[in-house]
Amino acid sequence: MVTTTTSPPPKGPDTEARRSKSTARPGDKIFLGLSRGSGITLLVIMAAIAIFLTYRAALAISKDEANFLTTSEWNPAGNPPVFGIAVLAFGTIVSSVIAMIIAVPVAIGIALFISHYAPRKLAAPLAYVVDLLAAVPSIIYGLWGAIFLVPYLDGLNKWLDEYMGWTYIFDKASDGLARNLFTVGILLAIMILPIITNVTREVFLQVPKMHEEAALALGATRWEVIRMSVLPFGRSGIISASMLGLGRALGETMAVAVVLSPSFVISGHLLDPGGGTFAQNIASKFNEANEFGRDALIASGLVLFAITLLVNGAARWIIARRKEYSGAAA
Amino acid sequence: MAKRIDVSGLSAYYGAHKAIDDISMTVEPRSVTAFIGPSGCGKSTFLRTLNRMHEVTPGGRVEGKVMLDDENLYGSHVDPVAVRRTVGMVFQRPNPFPTMSIFDNVAAGLRLNGKYKKSQLNEIVERSLKGANLWNEVKDRLNKPGSGLSGGQQQRLCIARAIAVEPDVLLMDEPCSALDPISTLAIEDLIGELKERFTIVIVTHNMQQAARVSDRTAFFNLAAVGQPGKLIELDDTERIFSNPSVQATEDYISGRFG
């Protein structure tokens, strides 16, 4: 780095000595080796995972007698083997979308309350409680969901069916407990709430005071300050936080597996029991599957991986599209 | 409409700390009054009491009276938000809204105040940008972000934003301290034009600037670090810089301290 500087070269007899000394410091060398090694290791691990997944998935898909993407059946042990991910993709996306619709606005509200409304005495404990939510293991959420939330939501389901049934999605066509995608979505919303809240809160706290004062000095009320400077500045942070939450919702396994009563049916009636998600399906089937069955499950996992990549790519694109308007430039 | 500011017995606090003590002064309409003094003397704090921005700081609190013509800004029925709509402010570092275009930046205050037709907005934005001597530089890129402008242009954009709502008073908190000499000159020329329409109060660390732009100059000082700042004297700028009546003012102006 020193040799590429554009400033005029320093004069003096010790220039050369200092230069070589600065590149030869053992601490620098060790640190360079460590950080370079970590970077390379990461790439190697990623490549190994990708190769393994793709290879095993290809083995399974090549023997699949049905269309892997559009089939609503999972029977890799049958003769001929028939399996497809349509139900899993539908269930994963629908439950995650429900979770996002519920969690993102609530998380932004909590984050704004902690960062801009709550008195300091209340803000710190509240932030701590939100952190605690993130520390609860997902199997606990699953048990709580299955034992408490499912019976509790029965009433809500009946109410939705009766008054919102005309919307089709809230029309409960078959009887049964609320072990459905709607309940899973609510549970996922609670699980991803802390991560979204924490990240957006950090971003809101970083809004430069001068941006907020600009709005205040124009005669903005507290809400107008938030609308004019806090939310626009935090926009990319909100998107990143939501993507982190979505990533967790898409991949959540245990909580979904405990709550959902799985079935290989695609139903637009969100209150009907049944459906499935990628992660839940892998978790429930992996132990009893033979080697080919496991390859088939790995193939479904690869699709989940691809969906997650797509979602992240879309988020980056949204953030980059308005870069010149972002607060980072100021 | 430019209005007269009449301050009496004003003290400001940060929590238990008294930042300025018992300040009284009058600022005439359509004039420029400069606040000078060493760092920490409370001149910025005092400026921020004039549009009730001081109380935004946690623990910030004010005692005393600020009359704007015949209305007490600290009267019990007065809404601080309404005060800030009539007393505009320009800050030390240019702070256009980074996510808004140049046009939207100037229109921001108007949109807070009420509904305007598109044609009215266009007219007021153009008038304000012309008033801030920025129109010719930005008229072809009104839809571009304000943060893409140079520092001096951004500061004039902030001035345009402040004058777009036709405030009674314009407060400027070291508006040129982050700018190069040429941009500084542009802002100083602009202040000379703006005082035809507004009552202007400017805080500055640059004594030449105070001498160049202001009609009246107020010198603030503090007895020691941790003590509240006080108004030492307020007089015609010419007199402050040639023959001040207090020794401390002369010491400060001639560079003997501060």
What CA–CA distance (Å, rounded) separates A106 from A52?
39
Q: Check A218 against B108: CB less than 8 A apart.
A: yes
Looking at residue A323, what is its pLDDT?
Answer: 65
How close, in Å, is residue B142 to chain A by CA atoms?
14
- Interchain CB distance below 8 Å, A235 and B100: no
User: Which of A217, A224, A228 is opposite residue B53, by nearest beta carbon?
Assistant: A217
CB contacts, 8 Å: A207 with chain B: none
Contact state of A219 with B109 under an 8 Å Cβ cutoff: yes
Q: Which residues of chain A does B109 touch, with a Cβ-Cβ cutoff of 8 Å?
A: 218-219
- Burial class of B81 by CB neighbour count within 10 A (0 to 12, 13 to 18, 19+): middle
Query: How large is the average pLDDT for residues A274-301?
Result: 92
Query: Could you tell me if A291 lies within 8 Å of chain B, comparing CB atoms?
Result: no
Q: pLDDT (tens digit, 9 = 90+) per residue, A231-277?
A: 998 988 999 899 989 999 999 998 999 999 888 888 888 888 888 99
Q: How far apart are CA A304 and CA A107, in angstroms?
A: 25
Q: Flag residues of chain B having pLDDT under 50.
A: none
CB proximity under 8 Å: A 155-184 to B: none
Inform me whether the C-beta atom of residue A115 falls under 8 Å from chain B C-beta atoms. no
What residues of B are in contact with residue A329 (Cβ under 8 Å)?
98, 145, 147-148
How confident is the model at residue B170, as a pLDDT? 95
Q: In Å, what is the CA distance from A26 to each residue of A3, A4, A23, A32?
A: 19, 21, 9, 10
Residue A120 in contact with partner chain B when CB distance is under 8 A: yes
Only one residue has tokens 């060493």, namely B38
A148 at interface of B, judged by CB pairs closer than 8 A? no
In angstroms, the CA B204 to CA B208 distance is 9
The fold adopted by the segment(s) A87-329 is MetI-like fold (1.10.3720)
The answer to whether residue A7 scores a pLDDT higher than 60 is no
pLDDT of A6 reads: 47
- Looking at the complex, report in whole angstroms how far the Cα of residue A96 sits from the nearest Cα belonging to chain B: 30
**A122–B contact, CB cutoff 8 A:** no
Chain A residue numbers with beta carbons less than 8 Å from the beta carbon of B83 are 219
pLDDT of the residue at B178 = 87
Element housing A74 (H / E) = strand A74-75
The answer to whether B191 and B9 are in contact (CB under 8 A) is: no
**Alpha helices, DSSP H, located in chain A:** 15-24, 26-63, 86-112, 120-135, 138-144, 150-164, 181-205, 209-217, 222-225, 231-251, 254-259, 278-285, 291-321
Distance from CA of B240 to the nearest CA of A (A): 31
- Chain B hits for A210, CB-CB cut-off 8 Å, are 91, 93, 95
Q: How far apart are CA B136 and CA B129, in angstroms?
A: 9
Q: Nearest to residue A179, comparing CAs of A99, A250, A263?
A: A263
Angle at B229 between CA B225 and CA B230, to 5 degrees: 140
Average pLDDT over every residue of A302-309: 91
Angle at A266 between CA A264 and CA A270, to 5 degrees: 115
- For B151, other C-beta atoms within 10 Å of its C-beta total 14
d(CA B53, CA B39): 19
List of residues 6+ apart from A64 with CB closer than 8 A: A76, A81, A82, A83, A84, A296
Query: What is the reported pTM?
Result: 0.82
Question: How many Å apart are CA B116 and CA A291, to the nearest integer?
Answer: 70
pLDDT at A21 (0 to 100): 54
Choose, out of A121, A205, A218, the residue to mutate when testing the contact with B (most B CBs < 10 Å). Answer: A218
How does pLDDT run across A177-226, given as a tens digit for each residue? 888 999 999 999 999 999 999 999 999 999 999 999 999 999 999 999 99
DSSP-based three-state secondary structure for B60: strand
**From the CA of A210, how many Å to the nearest CA of chain B?**
6
Chain A residues in contact with B88 by the CB 8 A cut-off are: 217-218
A219 to chain B, any CB pair closer than 8 A? The answer is yes
Q: Chain B closest CA to A226's CA: distance in Å?
A: 12
**Ranges A47-61, A242-256, A306-320: which has the least confidence:** A306-320
Q: Phi-psi bin for A83: left (phi > 0), alpha (psi -120 to 50), beta?
A: beta
Q: If you average pLDDT over every residue of chain A, what do you get?
A: 87
Q: Which chain A residue is nearest to residue B92, measuring alpha carbons?
A: A210
* Best of B45, B47, B95 to mutate (most A CBs within 10 Å, chain A): B95
Calculate how close chain B gets to A198, using CA atoms only, in Å. Answer: 23
Q: What is the pLDDT of residue A268?
A: 84
Query: CB A213 to CB B148 under 8 A?
Result: no
pLDDT for the residue numbered A5:
42
By CB atoms closer than 10 A (0-12, 13-18, 19+), residue B56 is middle
Q: Are A170 and A181 in contact (CB under 8 A)?
A: no
- Structure tokens of B55? 């109380």
* A109-132 average pLDDT score: 92
Tokens of B175: 């508006």
Q: What is the dihedral of CA B235, B236, B241, B245, to 10 degrees?
A: -30
User: Which residue type is seen at B128?
Assistant: S
Please determine, for residue A11, whether its predicted confidence score (pLDDT) is greater than 90.
no
- Give the pLDDT confidence score for residue B21 in this predicted structure: 92
Task: Spell out where chain B has E strands.
Answer: 5-14, 17-27, 32-36, 60-68, 71-72, 87-90, 169-173, 199-203, 216-222, 229-236
**Highest mean predicted confidence (pLDDT) among A45-59, A99-113, A239-253:** A99-113
Q: Locate the domains of chain A by residue range.
A: 87-329
CB contact (8 A) between residue A214 and residue B81 = no
Q: How far apart are CA A167 and CA A184, in angstroms?
A: 20
Find the residue in B nearest to A325 (Cα): B99
Q: What is the pLDDT of residue A328?
A: 47
CB contact under 8 A, A215 and B108: yes
User: B152, B175 in Cβ contact below 8 A?
Assistant: no
pLDDT: which is higher, A134 or A93: A93
Mean pLDDT (whole number) for A157-165: 86
Report which of B46, B57, B91, B48 is spatially closest to residue B218, judged by C-alpha positions: B46
How high is the pLDDT of residue A316? 85
- Chain B contact for A220, CB < 8 A? yes
CA dist B227 and B73 (Å) reads: 26
Q: Please, are residues B133 and B185 in contact by the beta-carbon 8 Å criterion?
A: no
